[in-house]
Structure 1
Amino acid sequence: MLNQTSPISNVSYLFIGTTRSSSKLNCAIDRAKEHLLSLQSNEGYWVFELEADCTIPAEYILMMHYMDEINESLQTKIANYIRTQQNSDGSYSLYQGGSGDISCTIKAYYAMKIAGDPIQSVPMTSARDWILSQGGAARANVLTRIMLAMFEQIPWRGVPFIPVEVMLLPKWFPFHLEKISYWARTVLVPLTILCTFKAKARNPKKIGIAELFVTAPDKEKNYFSHVTTPLGKGFLVLERMGRFMEPLIPGFVRKRATRKALNWFIERLNGLDGLGAIFTAMVNAYEAMDYLGIPVDNEQRQIARASIDRLLVIKDDMAYCQPCVSPIWDTGLASLTLQEIDRHQKDPHTQKALKSALHWLATKQLKDEPGDWRNQRPNLPGGGWAFQFGNSYYPDVDDTAVVAYAMIQADNKNFADNIERAGAWIAGMQSSNGGYGAFDADNTHFYLNHIPFADHGALLDPPTADVSARCIMLLGKLLKQHPEYQTVIDRCIEYLRNQQEMDGCWFGRWGTNYIYGTWSVLVGFESAGVPKNDPGIRKAVAWLKSRQRVDGGWGEGNYSYNNTKCRGQFYTSTVFHTSLAVLALLASGEARCPEVKAGVNYLLNNQQADGFWKDPSFNAPGFPKVFYLKYHGYDKFFPLWALGRYRNENRLSLPNH
């Protein structure tokens, strides 16, 4: 898993700024640019596939059987996809090349069995043997065990006590919805209804997975063996006390809490984009609506169902379900890429595409809409963008910084109000430690990661280096017009200095991993005016150079989230990480260093005939250690961005083509 590094002076194929190599660079940029432009929608946006592990496709099949709404043709295609993802040892991983994950494997096995795969087949036998070797289905994570309880495969005592009455808790109570992240909120609220009333799957074929348990589910006593910390064990005692006292809850209190939970997620159903615009929350809401007796012909219920299907990627013989979609993010990054390319020479085609993209983005800005972020910042005017087509309650500062930065670079007075609002919103969303979380300010109640429900360790949205850096990237551009942002920037820079690792890199919460985090910070520092000779920058540059591989590229695997000794390392180079490293070095004044030239050469040598590049690796965590993503756009626009900036920084003399 460790990368094979070597002094870059040993690389014999360095890119040199000759006429011939300049022509090669120009051709590579032109081919990639034209392909990227061809993928823009008529409305002006770009959106690329966003792929996760087999958990989401398996859950889609299980949802069809939970509801007895089975589309046999679609089920066959999803099953075909799941089969292609199985590891040689029978397991299913959270990302390509990763080790097996028991919860993902259980869901994939159950989905394949319920879809009709014979359990005696080699793939099913190997998956079952692997699950049993890991301790059986009782070792699954909390969300998987809740699914198993709803399918009547384990008793309800095998899942945490999640009473709907949590909706009535006061804000001063140790647990409150406002103290957890947006994604946890939207998943949890409808789930409290399903768990409180012990909802049962219709499961028309009555298929179970008893064969996956080492100990019979009703006799299993170690469903919570994952709770090991003293604080966690304390919460577990309180949870069991609450379960014991549940019969004492008055009926009118339960009705009131249920009504409040229903109203909460109905208000946030978000039309065809769905609750929170994320798959798990959308499914929970749909199933909760069904349990509560909302009629099949009810418009809101029908929209809730349709929103789930909008996440499907259906091809000739396979299909899978995305966890969400990323049009704002993809369009923002594609716009920044094309702006970099257009700096060299204005192109009417590119200009037209950028105008269309930015005007589409302008229509998506959230201003006076209600949003959960207002719980912490009630007096702050809105001005953010969401990640998805629509997610009005949940804009995030990361997308907002990228989109507003692109609008600044467009130098179009029509975007002045959009930019002003975005800057003021981001400045006001700063957390007390100087950093930025993605969706909320000061979402830092870390003790909640010890409650039994939070075995994924991702209940919160605390400040992170990558998001914080993007915020000062934007605010730095607005400093001349808004000198009052200087204090905000200074506090954020201090936060980022405190987050720098001893070896010089930064952690990447939303992209894999330390190379992504380091790129984010170095670009943010550049915009904020941090001098290139700053010791923190020089240390980061040295770290990046030390991680370059012998082929001139860079790579990093998701295993670095489990083992920090592997940060900045992988068994192969990737165009994604190579692009990030080149962009980071260019932002740090290293345009003419041999490491950048070798990185550019790697990108040129790995371009495909269609003008794009192809990385098989998953390139971002949804939640580190438990859920990963592959942004299918990253290996398309990031290499183009890096090549474009390299050309601009080196002022290459380009021949006519």
Structure 2
Amino acid sequence: MALKKQVLEEMNRLIEKLRTDQLPDGSWDYPFETGIKTDAYMIILLRMLELEEEDLIRGLVKRILSKQAQDGSWKLFHDEKTGNLTTTIEAIYALRYSGYVSNEESQMMAAKGFILKHGGLEKSQMFTQILLAIGGQMDWPSSFPIPVEAVLLPNQFPINFYDISVFGRANIAPILILSDTRYTKITNRSPDLSDLFTDREAGSFTLRQTRDLRSLLDYIKKGIDSLVGIQEDIHEKAINKLEMYMLNRIEADGTFYSYFSATFLMIFALMARGKTKEDKIIVNAVNGLKSMICEIDNLPHCQYTTANVWNTTLISYALQEAGVSKNANTIQKANQYLLSRQHYKYGDWVIHNKHAKPGGWGFSNINTLNPDVDDTTAALRAIRRQSIQNHHFRPIWDRGVEWVLSMQNDDGGWPAFERNIDNPLLTILPGGEDLLLDESSADLTGRTIEFFGKHTNLNKRYPPIKKGIKWLWKHQEEDGSWNSRWGICYIYGTWAALTGMRAAGVEAEHPSIHKAISWLNKIQNDDGGWGESCNSDIEEEYVPLGFSTITHTAWAVDALIAVSDKITPQIQKGINFLCHNADINNWRTTYPMGQGAAGLFYIHYHSYNYIWPLLTYSHFIHKFYKEY
């Protein structure tokens, strides 16, 4: 009973913490932290637009410098094998542009040495080379591999603009305008980065063209050639289509889809089209990005987006699972906030889902156009208890459920944002799988099945759920795990798949579940916890972190609870780890638990060390002590 007492004490501590941190509007705004990439971009943006935001710039400079490693580099995560070349280039570009750090300072010299040692500016990733081209640090290629006219290819063409994921489109649309116009913005403060090339002749960036890529681009160009003569001035028509695509998807805060990168690129794409920095659209976009700034350790951080809706869905549900009444003021406020964030507009998702009506939820506080499946099932979990008795909630619930069901891919799995965005031709393009596709994933599929199995009257016999379970079986790894798209990585995917299958009624004795349990037990650390490296995402196989984290342990224990009828030694050791390490405060506490894009950025959700332990504790108490 000592373990039960300790768990209940921890639950009460977490409940009180979450109650205290709730905002007056009912939401939680814990930071969505993505390293220093967006901080560097914000400095560059403000300097390019010649906006005197010196307090902000100095704060961002201090934050960037505080994250530098001893070898002069910046990393995407603590155990990245070497420093990250691209991130280090972005950091030194911003620091030089700021004017507050001398090139001769030891930290800057160390960063320069790291960059040159690892290949120089010309070895940075494509998006960073585009940034350098916009700032006049590299030349645009004489012709960008993908012509703007490609956006006019009809949806029936084997590869077209709407085959690309919404995240990919949001970034590609402004890039195509910028590359077509070869836009640059040089100011009196522009730094000279020419000393960071290893090859002084390397002045422009190029995309490495494989045979497959050349063949695909030739095919696209043939499709474009077929449009000539049918449509007049297809070049200008394509540019106008791209511009209107951006303008029609600006949110109320001025940002483009609430994404930092897309908004940053949109600002310069619109300036390439003739707008000035005084234009209302540009001013609003900059202010929208600034509105997403939060404070971490007394320093500003530019969030890639806000996570208010995601935080609030998860916290409201976790509190209710922990025994907080649906009638409590905390839950009432949270769920009223969520009601106000359900989508009523048609977004791009309707292109591949023509018969569905709006009803989803998005991720950020301001999102009204881009719902996703995971946020929607999370919101529905949060409002389920009210929807049973409150007639006001019922139609909201019904719209959400219908939208999620409609979003199932033809292969049986669930995506994040749009149906059937899995065109294999896109994998040939740079960044194809991470940025351009929105395929079915184990985490989305498992989480969606868990929602239906636990919170509706649908189970493994319902054809869509049955099809989803078969997708999970088909995509289980040989070792018994599942990879994920949005969490780190195999532990998250395995947790989602196991909890989903069990909720839908798959027997605990099923071979698929047995393999997964064996894998989780095998990778448990000696201290009772679990920990996985972000290197799993890059290497596409499970890479242990070498240390346990709170969130990974909560996911693993929750998965084992879902498939166990008694407290196993692995569960007990995991619960003990969670209880005894609640107050740790080191790099493991801030280790990223979310994926943005492999090798580009990873996410530390500041809410996760509260949400997932609380949910795991609740399921532990409910299942093994029959409380709540």
State TM-score, norm by structure 2.
0.92
Distance 1:478 1:550, change over 3 A: closer
Distance 1:561 1:272, change over 3 A: same
Determine if contact 1:449/1:458 at 8 Å carries over to the other structure. no
Distance 1:224 1:217 in 2: 17
Please report how far the alpha carbon of residue 239 of structure 1 lies from its aligned counterpart in structure 2 after TM superposition.
Answer: 8.8
Distance 1:395 1:455, change over 3 A: closer
Please report how far the alpha carbon of residue 61 of structure 1 lies from its aligned counterpart in structure 2 after TM superposition.
Answer: 0.9
- Tell me which residue corresponds to 1:197: 181
Q: Which one of the candidate residues 255, 274, 290 is aligned to 1:293?
A: 274
Distance 1:409 1:275, change over 3 A: same
Deviations 1:598-629 (A, max 9, x none): 1111111112299x997121111111333211
Distance 2:379 2:221 in 1: 47
- Equivalence map 1:620-631=2 (5 Å): 620-631=594-605
Query: Which residue identity does 2:439 align to in structure 1?
Result: P
| Structure 2 runs not aligned, ≥5 long | none
Structure 1 residue 584 and structure 2 residue 584: aligned? no
Bigger relative contact order (CA 8 A; separation at least 6): 1
Distance 2:276 2:200 in 1: 37
Deviations 1:227-269 (A, max 9, x none): 4x4312434677999999xxx9999433322222222111110
- Tell me which residue corresponds to 1:71: 53
Please report how far the alpha carbon of residue 162 of structure 1 lies from its aligned counterpart in structure 2 after TM superposition.
Answer: 4.3
Query: Which residue identity does 1:353 align to in structure 2?
Result: T
- Tell me which residue corresponds to 1:602: 577
- Tell me which residue corresponds to 2:342: 365
Distance 2:42 2:139 in 1: 23
Distance 1:236 1:85, change over 3 A: farther
Structure 1 residue 83 and structure 2 residue 65: aligned? yes
Please report how far the alpha carbon of residue 304 of structure 1 lies from its aligned counterpart in structure 2 after TM superposition.
Answer: 1.8
Please report how far the alpha carbon of residue 306 of structure 1 lies from its aligned counterpart in structure 2 after TM superposition.
Answer: 1.5
Structure 1 residue 149 and structure 2 residue 124: aligned? no
Distance 1:236 1:163 in 2: 9
What is the root-mean-square deviation of aligned Cα atoms in Å? 3.0
- Tell me which residue corresponds to 1:570: 545
- Tell me which residue corresponds to 2:394: 416
Distance 2:423 2:510 in 1: 33
Determine if contact 2:14/2:614 at 8 Å carries over to the other structure. yes
Distance 1:561 1:489 in 2: 27
Distance 1:159 1:638 in 2: 49
Distance 1:356 1:485 in 2: 36
Q: In structure 1, the residue corresponding to 2:257 is in which secondary structure? A: helix
Determine if contact 1:575/1:613 at 8 Å carries over to the other structure. no
**Which moves more between the two structures, 505-514 or 249-258?**
249-258
- Tell me which residue corresponds to 1:11: none
Structure 1 residue 263 and structure 2 residue 244: aligned? yes
Please report how far the alpha carbon of residue 361 of structure 1 lies from its aligned counterpart in structure 2 after TM superposition.
Answer: 0.7
**Which moves more between the two structures, 288-297 or 575-584?**
288-297
Distance 1:409 1:624, change over 3 A: farther
**Which moves more between the two structures, 137-146 or 297-306?**
297-306
Structure 1 residue 534 and structure 2 residue 518: aligned? no
Determine if contact 2:460/2:469 at 8 Å carries over to the other structure. no
Structure 1 residue 449 and structure 2 residue 430: aligned? no
Identity of aligned residues (%): 28
Determine if contact 2:426/2:432 at 8 Å carries over to the other structure. no
Distance 1:370 1:539 in 2: 42
Query: Which residue identity does 2:431 align to in structure 1?
Result: A
Please report how far the alpha carbon of residue 70 of structure 1 lies from its aligned counterpart in structure 2 after TM superposition.
Answer: 3.6
Deviations 1:261-313 (A, max 9, x none): 22211111011162111101111222223332335554433322211111212
Q: Which one of the candidate residues 251, 256, 274 is aligned to 2:255?
A: 274
Deviations 1:419-464 (A, max 9, x none): 211111111111111011100100001221222x437842111110
- Tell me which residue corresponds to 2:351: 375
Q: In structure 1, the residue corresponding to 2:22 is in which secondary structure? A: coil
| Structure 1 runs not aligned, ≥5 long | 1-17
State TM-score, norm by structure 1.
0.88
Distance 1:539 1:556, change over 3 A: same
Query: Which residue identity does 2:490 align to in structure 1?
Result: Y
Please list every run of at least 4 consecutive aligned residues from structure 1 whose deviation after the TM superposition is greater than 6 angstroms.
Answer: 236-244, 248-251, 482-485
Q: Which one of the candidate residues 90, 93, 97 is aligned to 1:110?
A: 93
Structure 1 residue 515 and structure 2 residue 491: aligned? yes
Q: In structure 1, the residue corresponding to 2:595 is in which secondary structure? A: strand
**Which moves more between the two structures, 433-442 or 21-30?**
21-30
Q: Which one of the candidate residues 377, 384, 398 is aligned to 1:401?
A: 377
- Tell me which residue corresponds to 1:15: none
Query: Which residue identity does 1:307 align to in structure 2?
Result: G
- Tell me which residue corresponds to 1:7: none
Determine if contact 1:329/1:387 at 8 Å carries over to the other structure. yes
Distance 1:265 1:219 in 2: 30
Distance 2:112 2:219 in 1: 35
Deviations 1:389-427 (A, max 9, x none): 132221001111111122224444332212211111111
- Tell me which residue corresponds to 2:303: 322
Distance 1:243 1:491, change over 3 A: closer
Q: In structure 1, the residue corresponding to 2:253 is in which secondary structure? A: helix
Structure 1 residue 475 and structure 2 residue 475: aligned? no
Distance 1:250 1:102, change over 3 A: farther
Distance 1:312 1:380 in 2: 35
Q: Which one of the candidate residues 249, 259, 284 is aligned to 1:303?
A: 284
Determine if contact 2:346/2:357 at 8 Å carries over to the other structure. no
Query: Which residue identity does 1:137 align to in structure 2?
Result: L
Distance 1:215 1:360, change over 3 A: same
Please report how far the alpha carbon of residue 347 of structure 1 lies from its aligned counterpart in structure 2 after TM superposition.
Answer: 5.5
Deviations 1:578-603 (A, max 9, x none): 11111111111254111111111111
Distance 1:242 1:65, change over 3 A: farther
Please report how far the alpha carbon of residue 475 of structure 1 lies from its aligned counterpart in structure 2 after TM superposition.
Answer: 2.2
Query: Which residue identity does 1:545 align to in structure 2?
Result: N
Distance 1:219 1:27, change over 3 A: closer
Distance 1:436 1:578, change over 3 A: same
Please report how far the alpha carbon of residue 570 of structure 1 lies from its aligned counterpart in structure 2 after TM superposition.
Answer: 1.5
Q: In structure 2, the residue corresponding to 1:276 is in which secondary structure? A: coil
Query: Which residue identity does 2:12 align to in structure 1?
Result: D
Please report how far the alpha carbon of residue 476 of structure 1 lies from its aligned counterpart in structure 2 after TM superposition.
Answer: 2.2
Query: Which residue identity does 2:132 align to in structure 1?
Result: L
Distance 2:7 2:434 in 1: 44
Q: How many residues align?
A: 623
- Tell me which residue corresponds to 1:29: 11
Q: In structure 2, the residue corresponding to 1:58 is in which secondary structure? A: helix
Please report how far the alpha carbon of residue 107 of structure 1 lies from its aligned counterpart in structure 2 after TM superposition.
Answer: 0.7
Query: Which residue identity does 2:186 align to in structure 1?
Result: R
Query: Which residue identity does 1:58 align to in structure 2?
Result: A
Distance 1:311 1:235 in 2: 39
Distance 1:485 1:265, change over 3 A: farther
Distance 1:495 1:337, change over 3 A: same
Distance 2:408 2:428 in 1: 26
